[in-house]
Chains A and B, each alone.
Chain A
Amino acid sequence: MKFNIQRFSDTITSSDNLQIEFGFVDGDTRTLNVPNPRNDLAASDVSAVDVWINNNLPIIGDKEGAITNGINSAIIIEKAVNKLDLS
């Protein structure tokens, strides 16, 4: 399996993001955040999207317009916010 889904968590969670890094043939990378990833999300789900992107090339590089060579990594980020007691 190409992708390892990892979770990084803290005590109070306010929002989650699926952070997907795309690679391009010129060596550049770009990160896209998809909000609120599914709880049952599996690496195979990301692989399926990766295959579709490689077949359809819907995104391009921002420097040379280079085509993408797919998803490099996918990580679930759990954003934790701890409110400080200021009293």
Chain B
Amino acid sequence: MATFNTKLTVTSVDANSNKKTTNIGYVNPDVEDGVLKELVNKLFSLSTNTVTEIAKVTTENITKAEYYEYKITPSSASYTLKNGEAHQVFAFTTNIPSDTENLNWQRDVSQMVGMGSVSYDKDAQSGTMEVYAYNNNVYTSTIKFYATINGVQASYPAYIDANVNPTE
């Protein structure tokens, strides 16, 4: 799971023009920039330093390592889709044991794209997943595709970028 840390990097100078950088970590991302600027002004009203620059920096922190037992190969793919035309087929293999019960497939999409069927041969440990364009807009939808066992995610996801472009 990713979280975001928004911090302020404040550059100030002292009476001898010596630069000093002060970091104010974990500022509230939901407040307006004007409030953050006022925070800096309030804090530095306690100081003789003069603020010369305020930078707002957002970084992504991975706070939880995800571990799954099985893998889908390839773990990523990219397709360009023309509206109304034939499906693109994502062919994949896994290391899921052939005797696994209650195996299913989950697809989460960032934007709407058409989803065809998933075909999977347990013994061959390979399958296909179909995707097709849904409308005439130009956009990219990222499909997160993974295996579930008893309804619980069991494999690392494969990410498929579906670049919908009706004119190409």
Contacts and interface: CB of A to CB of B under 8 A. Distances in A.
Interface of A: 18, 20, 30, 32-39, 41, 45-46, 48-49, 52-53, 56-62, 65, 67
A27 to B, nearest CB: 15
A32 B43 contact: yes
Contacts of B27: 58-60
Contacts of B3: 65
Given A37-B47, A49-B46, A59 B22 contact: no
B5 interface: yes
B47 A38 contact: yes
A22 B3 CA distance: 21
A34 B43 contact: yes
B46 A35 contact: no
Given A49-B45, A58-B31, A58-B35, 9 more contacts: A34-B43, A34-B49, A38-B47, A39-B48, A58-B36, A59-B27, A59-B28, A59-B39, A62-B5
A-side interface mostly: mixed
Interface of B: 3, 5, 12, 14, 20, 22, 24-28, 31, 35-36, 38-39, 42-49
Contact of B26 (A20, A41, A56, A61): A61
Nearest to B42: A49
Q: Which of A52, A58, A61 has the most CB of B within 10 A?
A: A58
